[in-house]
Amino acid sequence: MTMKQYRKRPVIIEAEQFFYDKPQMEGVFYPPTSSDGKTYIGDAWVVTIHGQKVFLQNGDYIIQEPDGEHYYPCKSDIFETNYEPVK
């Protein structure tokens, strides 16, 4: 049996690349910092629309869910393969 083929719909998303050394981002929960305030103790995370806590790594893209309140991460290589900037 041959499976049917589908094309991903072209949609515009809102996303930002995450880095620990950049300004804090909306939708990201940051761990506490060391006593000097320069080092995070633990990993940052986002909460998905399904209520899952997903931890982040430097370079992950943070994509806003359609509800505008939840976010999910996407590894940079996957993001750059599937999305292009809107002009």
Q: Give the CA angle between residues 76, 63, 26 to the nearest 5°.
A: 115
The 10s digit of each residue's pLDDT in 49-78 is 999 999 999 999 999 998 989 999 999 999
Q: pTM surpassing 0.75?
A: yes
The 10s digit of each residue's pLDDT in 7-48 is 777 888 999 999 999 999 999 999 999 998 888 999 999 999
What's the number of CA atoms in the CB half-sphere (13 Å) around residue 74? 19
Q: If residue 1 lies in a helix (H) or strand (E), which one and from where to where?
A: none
- Cα–Cα dist 58/37, whole Å: 18
- Cα–Cα dist 74/43, whole Å: 16
Backbone angles phi, psi at 84, to 5 degrees: -135, 150
The β-bridge partners of 73 are 62
